């Protein structure tokens, strides 16, 4: 069920008795820009800490406990040309509780809590609380720096930097430390007002709750009409004719090898589903060519996989290897792509990959979180693909379809984070 | 045949039985779900590295990492790989090894019977050769090195190793590049024959299923196979460190941006057996919540002083023969972090008394967390602890939690923390 609440504000209902909880998701969607990423990441962090009514994180945490361990959080994500501030709150359906004697059901309490976080933040003297602001800026700074402690993440970030000339695309969703250091409480207040006034807002609810209850809760939220510029969510970029190579030395035992490919097929492309199948066959599943050939046959790695982003037209490959095997591994990866480009894909693997994609889609229906987050794709692209027609399209995909996709794929960059001089052995 | 236990308020039921060959079967139907998740577990993990192989009289010390190596190799057969069999039906399969258990699992949205047959057949039909064993050494070597580069992993397992310096828990679950090099096909067969008897295993299936029908499929599969009579497993008891032998502090340097600290507490009290053990476990967990979760007064004080931040976390766990807690986080004030948190631990009885008014709050939170976890077929299946608490399920855990009072948690916390010993594992940039 889809409702337009106001201009630029939508509500999706996923009624289900399948779950013991009721889940709520609120997405604030804005255009992606370098300045916005950092400011909005900090805003999310500050909003998550406290509200006027719950002025410390302990007061807020105690309210969540009182609501039988309501799971509440704010996260930020980048999706193509969009930046999303996502609030989620999940509460138990009280019919499953042993003793529940409160007047207001937990769902309404959760909606009130989200309302407090979004519309009634801690703003003494009209500005974000100074100690909270300073501390959360420091925490975010530490969190951004700590991201690089994960060497697989670091290698992936570096290869993206080699590919994307647009800084907002190369940047982490948490933002940039240098920009963060310059942000003031006044900047964040402005970001906050812009978010409330201009962002597209997508609310979604999953669980055993009817639309009337949701709408009457939502009616108390002071959301205004907004003009949302419906720009394309897809980030288009030009492939380069040559492969950029990069490497860095770090204190690692295992080298982290990352490759990035241009795969200019977006969600609105007739070949989108074929691209999904291509990625699954190439490296997206444990049955894939990369897993089979890099790991199982050549014993060169524990993990070797690919991932495809249909909002940015990029496909990445990642593997952890011995540095001296880099050339061999890159060659094997190249052979797998060349095989798919030549139409060499067994009927068995094609069948297995389709079956696993169907399995994953059906299994996703059993996760309240995935049902909520999956809605954003539809909201950004205005495309829905009901299960039946999706399955029919999936069934119809042929080796030639996968081959056509594979032929559009070009290697753009290789990057290796390794422990020492690669020529040493 | 199937023993049904209903949890009416939750609208859930658990069906259990033990087959003639000893295999324990636990079935939890979730009629609204699309997915079925099955996990087959043997009570054999990295801790069990010295035992009397079935059919022998002499104990043997096996190379470190053998249980995990066996887990990898069980998928590969003479002319196929079990992964591919699951793959035909689109099911996703996996396996994992802990200190005390090895589990094989799949998730599917169709062809449950076929997938169950694949699971039972590949787990119950070992095929190890020198060639296939050697091939795996490169893959597992890379798995070990991947974890070598993971500071969070190093911190967690480093802490456990210092709590259990003489026990096999100080050894990486996967072993080392050198130890796995010594593993042979014969070693794998010896371990397999000892620990993979159905009498030492359980099969938990949760999700879209009909209990009677599912049981009939499992039974039909098992009746086609013959197993030797089960014999008791003879594990050689591992050496036990005395409380005084716990390594109190360790400092390591790795490429991290900020200091990373893990404080471990090893229990030296006796964990009660059966459901009393479950109650003990839930009580200690609640005590940890009272002392350290984000509703506590200490949390806010330490957070505001920048001693802890959002990376802070803690947990308590009971395994066969070991129970320990961890407090961990990143901090720019490593000394204060250790000083403040150990001060709370060492003054736990008084601190818990002082936090008594928060008890109902943390209990509510814990209840909500478990009820929420019942949404997940994986959580229900993985929460089954086998023989540890006499076959307790996530639903029994919830019932135990609901019945718990503040007076229950004090003695449990005092026994664990009072007799426990601590270690501090610090990773510095």
Per-residue pLDDT reduced to its tens digit, A12-31: 999 999 999 999 999 999 99
Residue A99, C-beta contacts closer than 8 angstroms, at least 6 positions apart? none
Q: Map chain A to HEC letters.
A: CEEEEECCEEEEEEECCCCCEEEEEEEEEEECCHHHHHHHHHHHHHHHHCCCCCCCHHHHHHHHHHCCCCEEEEEEEEECCEEEEEEEEEEECHHHCCCCCCCCCHHHHHHHHHHHHHHCCCCHHHCCCHHHHHHHHHHHHHHHHHHCCCHHHHHHHHHHHHHCCCHHHHCCCCCCHHHHHHCCHHHHHHHHHHHHHHCEEEEEEEECCCHHHHHHHHCCCCCCCCCCCCCCCCCCCCCCCCCEEEEEECCCCCEEEEEEEECCCCCCCCCHHHHHHHHHHHHHCCCCHHHHHHHHHCCCCCCEEEEEECCCCEEEEEEEECHHHHHHHHHHHHHHHHHHHCCCCCHHHHHHHHHHHHHHHHHHCCCHHHHHHHHHHHHHHCCCCCHHHHHHHHHHCCHHHHHHHHCCCEEEEEEEEECCCHHHC
Residue B73 confidence (pLDDT) above 60: yes
Same domain, A162 and A309: no
CB atoms A149 and B32 under 8 Å: no
Digit-coded pLDDT (tens) for A113-128: 999 999 999 999 899 9
Q: Map B362-397 to HEC letters.
A: HHHHHHHHHHHHCCCHHHHHHCCCHHHHCCCCHHHH
Confirm whether A318 is domain-assigned.
Answer: yes
In this prediction, residue A423 carries a pLDDT of: 44
Confirm whether A420 is domain-assigned.
Answer: yes
Is residue B115 within 8 Å of residue B122, measured between CB atoms? Answer: no
In this prediction, residue B312 carries a pLDDT of: 97
The CA angle A135-B313-A78, to the nearest 5 degrees, is: 60
Identify which of A20, A68, A354 has the shortest CB distance to residue B374. Answer: A20
Same domain, A194 and A249: no
Identify which of A18, A135, A286 has the shortest CB distance to residue B83. Answer: A286
Number of domain units in chain A: 2
Categorize the per-residue pLDDT at A327 as very low, low, confident or very high, splitting at 50, 70 and 90.
very high
Residue with tokens 């802490």: B159
State mean pLDDT over A258-278: 97
Beta bridge partners of B250: B425
* Assembly ipTM: 0.92
Categorize the per-residue pLDDT at A425 as very low, low, confident or very high, splitting at 50, 70 and 90.
very low
State mean pLDDT over B317-327: 96
Q: Which of residues 82-101 of A touch B (CB under 8 A)?
A: 90-92, 96-98
CB atoms A299 and B369 under 8 Å: no
Is residue A108 within 8 Å of residue A213, measured between CB atoms? Answer: yes
Same domain, A201 and A344: no
In this prediction, residue A379 carries a pLDDT of: 87
Cα separation, A163 vs A314, in Å, equals 9
Confirm whether A229 is domain-assigned.
Answer: no
Q: Which of residues 125-184 of A touch B (CB under 8 A)?
A: 131, 135, 138-139, 142-143, 145-146, 148-151
Residue B428, C-beta contacts closer than 8 angstroms, at least 6 positions apart? B251, B252, B253, B254, B256, B259, B334
Digit-coded pLDDT (tens) for B324-339: 999 999 999 999 999 9
Cα separation, B241 vs A363, in Å, equals 46
Mutate: best of B331, B371, B398, partner A, most A CBs <10 A: B371
Is B340 among the residues known to form the active site?
no
Phi and psi at B263, nearest 5°, equal -100, 125
Categorize the per-residue pLDDT at A293 as very low, low, confident or very high, splitting at 50, 70 and 90.
very high
Categorize the per-residue pLDDT at A382 as very low, low, confident or very high, splitting at 50, 70 and 90.
confident
Residue A300 confidence (pLDDT) above 90: yes
In this prediction, residue B190 carries a pLDDT of: 97
The whole domain housing A264 covers 244-424
Which residues on A lie below 8 Å from B300 (Cβ)?
56-58
Same domain, A112 and A201: yes
CATH fold of the domain at B243-428: Cytochrome Bc1 Complex; Chain A, domain 1 (3.30.830)
Identify which of B109, B139, B303 has the shortest CB distance to residue A57. Answer: B303
Beta bridge partners of B41: B103, B202
Is residue B43 within 8 Å of residue B100, measured between CB atoms? Answer: yes
* Architecture field, domain B3-235: 2-Layer Sandwich (3.30)
Residue A422 confidence (pLDDT) above 80: no
Residue B64 CA from chain centroid, whole number: 18
State mean pLDDT over A57-86: 96
Digit-coded pLDDT (tens) for A141-199: 999 999 999 999 999 999 999 999 999 999 999 999 999 999 999 999 999 999 999 99
Last residue of a domain, one of A172, A201, A218: A218
CB atoms A302 and B300 under 8 Å: no
Which residues on A lie below 8 Å from B33 (Cβ)?
18, 366
State mean pLDDT over A76-95: 97
Residue B130 confidence (pLDDT) above 70: yes
Cα separation, B160 vs A364, in Å, equals 35
Same domain, A203 and A58: yes
Same domain, A177 and A252: no
| Shortest distance, CA A84 to any CA of chain B (angstroms) | 21
In this prediction, residue A259 carries a pLDDT of: 98
CB atoms A65 and B110 under 8 Å: no
Categorize the per-residue pLDDT at A421 as very low, low, confident or very high, splitting at 50, 70 and 90.
low
Same domain, A212 and A259: no
CATH of the domain at A111: 3.30.830.10
Structure tokens at A255: 């080298």
In this prediction, residue A25 carries a pLDDT of: 98
Categorize the per-residue pLDDT at B409 as very low, low, confident or very high, splitting at 50, 70 and 90.
very high
Confirm whether A239 is domain-assigned.
Answer: no
Same domain, A210 and A350: no
| Minimal-distance CA residue of chain B relative to A96 | B10
Same domain, A296 and A406: yes
Same domain, A123 and A262: no
Confirm whether A362 is domain-assigned.
Answer: yes
Identify which of A18, A65, A302 has the shortest CB distance to residue B362. Answer: A65
| Minimal-distance CA residue of chain B relative to A207 | B375
Which residues on B lie below 8 Å from A17 (Cβ)?
32
Confirm whether A230 is domain-assigned.
Answer: no
State mean pLDDT over B336-343: 97
Last residue of a domain, one of A218, A252, A281: A218
Mutate: best of A98, A133, A156, A351, partner B, most B CBs <10 A: A98
Same domain, A265 and A175: no
Catalytic residue chosen out of the listed positions B12, B50, B71, B365:
B71
Same domain, A164 and A15: yes
Residue B200, C-beta contacts closer than 8 angstroms, at least 6 positions apart? B22, B42, B43, B44, B230, B233
Categorize the per-residue pLDDT at B246 as very low, low, confident or very high, splitting at 50, 70 and 90.
very high
User: Over pLDDT 90: what percentage of chain A?
Assistant: 90
Q: What are the sequence ranges of the domains in chain B?
A: 3-235, 243-428
Residue A424 confidence (pLDDT) above 90: no
Q: A124 burial class (0-12, 13-18, 19+ CB within 10 angstroms)?
A: exposed
Digit-coded pLDDT (tens) for B286-316: 999 999 999 998 999 999 999 999 999 999 9
Distance set, CA A344 to CA A107, A329, A336, A350, B88 (Å): 53, 20, 9, 11, 19
* 3-class DSSP state of B8: coil
Residue A405 confidence (pLDDT) above 50: yes
């Amino acid at each position: 069920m889809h409702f337009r609440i106001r201009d630029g504000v939508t509500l999706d209902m996923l009624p289900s008795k399948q779950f013991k909880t009721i889940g709520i998701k609120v997405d604030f969607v804005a255009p992606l820009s370098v300045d916005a990423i950092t400011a909005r990441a900090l805003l999310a962090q500050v909003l998550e800490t406290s509200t006027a009514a719950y002025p410390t994180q302990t007061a807020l945490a105690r309210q969540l406990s009182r609501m039988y361990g309501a799971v509440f959080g704010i996260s930020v994500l980048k999706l193509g040309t969009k930046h999303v501030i996502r609030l989620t709150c999940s509460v138990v359906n009280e019919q499953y509780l042993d003793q529940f004697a409160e007047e207001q059901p937990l769902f309404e309490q959760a909606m009130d809590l989200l309302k407090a976080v979004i519309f009634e933040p801690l703003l003494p003297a009209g500005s974000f609380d100074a100690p909270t602001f300073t501390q959360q800026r420091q925490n975010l700074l530490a969190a951004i720096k700590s991201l690089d402690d994960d060497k697989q993440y670091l290698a992936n970030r570096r290869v993206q930097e080699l590919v994307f000339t647009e800084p907002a695309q190369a940047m982490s969703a948490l933002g940039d430390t240098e920009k963060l250091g310059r942000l003031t409480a006044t900047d964040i207040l402005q970001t906050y007002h812009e978010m409330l006034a201009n962002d597209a807002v997508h609310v979604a609810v999953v669980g055993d709750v009817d639309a009337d209850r949701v709408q009457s809760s939502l009616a108390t939220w002071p959301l205004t009409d907004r003009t949302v510029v419906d720009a394309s969510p897809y980030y288009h970029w030009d492939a380069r004719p040559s492969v950029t190579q990069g490497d860095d030395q770090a204190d690692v035992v295992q080298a982290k090898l990352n490759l990035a490919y241009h795969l200019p097929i977006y969600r609105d492309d007739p070949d989108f589903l074929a691209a999904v199948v291509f990625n699954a066959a190439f490296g997206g599943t444990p049955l894939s060519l990369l897993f089979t050939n890099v790991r199982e046959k050549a014993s060169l790695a524990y993990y070797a996989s690919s991932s495809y982003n249909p909002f940015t037209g990029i496909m990445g490959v990642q593997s952890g290897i011995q540095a001296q095997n880099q050339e061999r591994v890159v060659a094997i990866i190249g052979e797998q792509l060349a095989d798919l480009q030549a139409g060499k894909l067994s009927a068995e693997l094609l069948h297995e990959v389709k079956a696993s994609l169907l399995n994953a889609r059906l299994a996703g229906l059993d996760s309240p979180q995935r049902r909520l987050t999956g809605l954003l794709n539809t909201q950004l692209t205005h495309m829905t693909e009901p299960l039946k027609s999706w399955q029919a399209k999936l069934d119809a995909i042929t080796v030639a379809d996968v081959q056509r996709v594979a032929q559009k794929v070009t290697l753009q960059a290789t990057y290796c984070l390794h422990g020492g001089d690669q020529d040493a052995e | 045949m199937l023993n049904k236990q209903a949890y009416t308020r939750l609208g859930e039921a658990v069906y259990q039985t033990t087959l003639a060959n000893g295999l324990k079967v636990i079935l939890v139907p979730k009629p609204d779900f699309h997915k079925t998740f099955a996990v087959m577990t043997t009570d054999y993990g990295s801790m069990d590295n010295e035992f009397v192989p079935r059919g022998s009289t002499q104990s043997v010390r096996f190379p470190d990492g053998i249980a995990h190596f066996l887990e990898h190799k069980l998928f590969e057969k003479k002319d196929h790989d079990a992964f591919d069999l699951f793959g035909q039906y689109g099911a996703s399969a996996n396996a994992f090894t802990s200190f005390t258990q090895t589990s094989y699992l799949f998730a599917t949205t169709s062809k449950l019977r076929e997938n169950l047959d694949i699971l039972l057949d590949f787990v119950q039909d070992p095929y190890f050769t020198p060639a296939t064993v050697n091939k795996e050494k490169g893959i597992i070597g890379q798995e070990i090195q991947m974890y070598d580069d993971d500071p969070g992993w190093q911190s967690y397992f480093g802490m456990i190793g210092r709590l259990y310096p003489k026990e096999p828990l100080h050894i990486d679950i996967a072993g080392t590049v050198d130890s796995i090099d010594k593993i042979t096909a014969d070693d794998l067969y010896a371990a397999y024959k000892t620990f993979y008897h159905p009498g030492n295993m359980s099969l938990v299936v949760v999700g879209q299923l009909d209990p009677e029908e599912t049981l009939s499929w499992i039974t039909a599969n098992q009746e086609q196979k013959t197993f030797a009579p089960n014999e008791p497993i003879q594990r050689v008891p591992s050496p036990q460190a005395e409380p005084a032998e716990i390594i109190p502090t360790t400092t390591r340097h790795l490429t991290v941006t900020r200091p990373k600290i893990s404080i471990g507490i090893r229990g030296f009290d006796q964990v009660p057996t059966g459901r009393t053990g479950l109650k003990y476990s839930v009580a200690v967990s609640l005590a940890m919540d009272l002392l350290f979760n984000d509703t506590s007064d200490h949390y806010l004080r330490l957070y505001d002083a920048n001693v802890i931040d959002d990376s802070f976390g803690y947990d308590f766990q009971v395994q066969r023969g070991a129970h320990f807690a961890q407090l961990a986080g990143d901090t720019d004030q490593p000394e204060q972090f250790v000083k403040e948190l150990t001060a709370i631990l060492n003054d736990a009885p008084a601190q818990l008394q002082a936090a008594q008014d928060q008890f109902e709050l943390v209990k509510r939170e814990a209840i909500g967390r478990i009820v929420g976890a019942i949404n997940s077929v994986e959580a229900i299946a993985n929460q089954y602890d086998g023989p540890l608490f006499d076959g307790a399920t996530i639903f029994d855990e919830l019932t135990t939690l609901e019945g718990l009072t503040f007076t229950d948690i004090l003695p449990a916390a005092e026994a664990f923390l009072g007799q426990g010993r601590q270690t501090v594992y610090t990773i510095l940039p």
